[in-house]
Structure 1
Amino acid sequence: MTPLTTYELRAAKGTRTWLQLHVDSGAEAAAAVEAGIMILSCEPDHTLVPIRAAAPGAFISAGMPHGTIASEAEAIRAGFAILERGANAVYCSHSPRLIEAMAREGIPVTGHVGLVPNLAEWTGFRAVGKTADEALTVLAEVRDLENAGAACVEVEVVPVELADHITRTTAMVTMGMGCGDVCDTQYLFSSDVLGTHRGHYPRHSKRYADFVALEAELQAKRVAAFRDFAEDVAKGGYPTAGHEVRMDPAELEAFTKRAQTIGRG
């Protein structure tokens, strides 16, 4: 199956809202596609190849770990390596200088504005762009990414009005997280959708399952099964004849006689 392409996403801009998930495994990717979600993001680690295998028709934007590149040459090499492993685009929160280097070589790049976790030292973990001055700063960052040749931009936790303006005035595909329903994609993390962790959940997230409870139930069943196994062995219930392999008596006799001739070192 041919994956959804950057060209197709950009050609459809303004005509529909795509669903998007950040997934952590091939199983999650397969479930997303079965549910009709065709835009995925993931880390470029050991999960990328199985995610691509599980979702051959999906558009995948794979993240480039922040701080792993420091030059245009390194960016280009790392970008092509991620594409070769199955991604359609490379997520990059580095400067426009490094994004431009990749874009010039034809590597589709996803930039990031608003609340950028890798850059939260400068903004804090909060909504970004609520004042006119800050909104203009975000818009300027969008223009920088656009001028650098980025194909997509993640717009995270900015006011709806700002996200709407960005989406209407850029040719980039806007991937919206926590900024209403005005972007080109509606984007969440699978961990938030599935409820896989305890503790803080972002305001913009919504849980549709409780995998923490399911995992606790599975763990209890694991413990119970292991205890049953231990008790069964202790009481002689396992193994039984049905679990064993026995030699034919004649073969055993032949083995016993010949074993006497095998020297010991």
Structure 2
Amino acid sequence: MSQRKLPTVADLLAAKGRRQMTMLRYFSLEEAAAAEAAGIDIASVPDDILLHPRYREAAPSVFSMTGRTHLEAGTPDDYLRWAADAMNRGADAIYCSGSFDTVEYLANEYIPVVGHVGLCPSRATWTGGFRAVGKTAESALKLMQDVKDYESAGAFAVEIEVVPPEVATEISKRTSILLWSMGAGGGCDAQYLFANDILGYTEGKIPRHSKVYRDFATEYARLQEERIAAFREFAADVESGAFPEERYLVQMDEAELVAFRGGLEPA
């Protein structure tokens, strides 16, 4: 049983500038339990996992957010209804890639909101696609303004993705809200990676900012071969009559068997 306490938004804000927190995006209850056991601070979790009735058994003290992009959520009222339901069912915060007006609308109803700057996949067409953001003075100053706008709108944290570390560090010094770094260096308040990258089961290209710690892809492939082999052995045993053996069956008392057969009509 974990001895940690589930942090509040106030607890996370109080830790700004004091230490680097850890943050993961993971995709199963097993990964949630591993994050809890490893002492991970923050998680971004798909809503079907976070809202699962067993989620808090797996990760009772991981500050856990879920979210929908502005392309998925609909109107601000739709966003608010969905966010309120998620909070009522155990979410600690809500990710919102919508407009600053939408962020403010949620924050005014006391929904803890996390924004996104830099490489934001749902808005990547406006920043040149899936590439680094903030490599020029002009774009770096625009990032600074975006973070300040999130702060003014009431967000308590912002994910900052694939931004030069010098830029992210200077921005972090100039805002009271939390910056969660995904490929933006160690000058922010948390380091954020995806579990599939860490565990080595990403399909396709692994992002430059991710570090691979294990090779689960090879292990998963080995396990699949073992599944196939086991199923083939079972099928062969059934075909040959080797399965089922007597040790897998229940036995009937001989007298009861005689009585049973005596009570049957002729076949």
Tell me the CA shift for residue 236 of structure 1: 2.3
Out of 246-255 and 150-159, give the one that drifted further. Answer: 246-255
Q: What is the CA–CA distance in structure 1 between the aligned matches of 2:203 and 2:71, rounded to whole Å?
A: 28
Find 1:251's aligned residue among 247, 250, 256. 256
Out of 33-42 and 154-163, give the one that drifted further. Answer: 33-42
Whether the 8 Å contact between 2:69 and 2:98 is mirrored in structure 1 is no
Whether the 8 Å contact between 2:151 and 2:177 is mirrored in structure 1 is yes
- Find out whether 1:33 has 2:46 as its counterpart: no
Q: What is the CA–CA distance in structure 2 between the aligned matches of 1:140 and 1:185, rounded to whole Å?
A: 20
Q: What is the CA–CA distance in structure 2 between the aligned matches of 1:151 and 1:42, rounded to whole Å?
A: 18
Q: Secondary structure at the match of 2:218?
A: helix
Q: Quote the residue 1:99 is aligned against.
A: 103
Q: Quote the residue 2:230 is aligned against.
A: 225
Q: Secondary structure at the match of 1:67?
A: helix
Out of 10-19 and 42-51, give the one that drifted further. Answer: 42-51
Tell me the CA shift for residue 66 of structure 1: 3.5
Q: Secondary structure at the match of 2:214?
A: coil
- 1:197-230 deviations in Å (ceiling 9; x for gaps): 2321111111011111000110111111111112
**5+ unaligned residues in a row in structure 2: which ranges?**
none
- 1:139-185 deviations in Å (ceiling 9; x for gaps): 11111111110011000011112101221111111100101111100
- 1:213-256 deviations in Å (ceiling 9; x for gaps): 00011011111111111222222221111111233333334444
Q: Sequence identity of aligned pairs in percent?
A: 47
Q: What is the CA–CA distance in structure 2 between the aligned matches of 1:69 and 1:200, rounded to whole Å?
A: 28
Q: What is the CA–CA distance in structure 2 between the aligned matches of 1:4 and 1:259, rounded to whole Å?
A: 69
Count of matched residue pairs? 261
- Find out whether 1:24 has 2:27 as its counterpart: yes
Q: What is the CA–CA distance in structure 1 between the aligned matches of 2:57 and 2:66, rounded to whole Å?
A: 14
Q: What is the CA–CA distance in structure 2 between the aligned matches of 1:154 and 1:46, rounded to whole Å?
A: 21
Q: Under a length normalisation based on structure 2, what TM-score does the superposition of the two structures give?
A: 0.92
Q: Secondary structure at the match of 2:243?
A: coil
- Find out whether 1:11 has 2:14 as its counterpart: yes
Structure-2 change in CA distance of 1:236 and 1:258 (3 Å): closer
Q: Quote the residue 2:58 is aligned against.
A: 54
**5+ unaligned residues in a row in structure 1: which ranges?**
none
Whether the 8 Å contact between 1:42 and 1:48 is mirrored in structure 2 is no
- 1:55-102 deviations in Å (ceiling 9; x for gaps): 101111212243233333222211111112221100111111111111
Find 2:46's aligned residue among 32, 35, 43. 43
Q: What is the CA–CA distance in structure 2 between the aligned matches of 1:193 and 1:48, rounded to whole Å?
A: 24
Structure-2 change in CA distance of 1:46 and 1:58 (3 Å): closer
Tell me the CA shift for residue 258 of structure 1: 4.5
Q: Under a length normalisation based on structure 1, what TM-score does the superposition of the two structures give?
A: 0.92
Q: What is the CA–CA distance in structure 1 between the aligned matches of 2:144 and 2:73, rounded to whole Å?
A: 25
Q: What is the CA–CA distance in structure 2 between the aligned matches of 1:156 and 1:61, rounded to whole Å?
A: 17
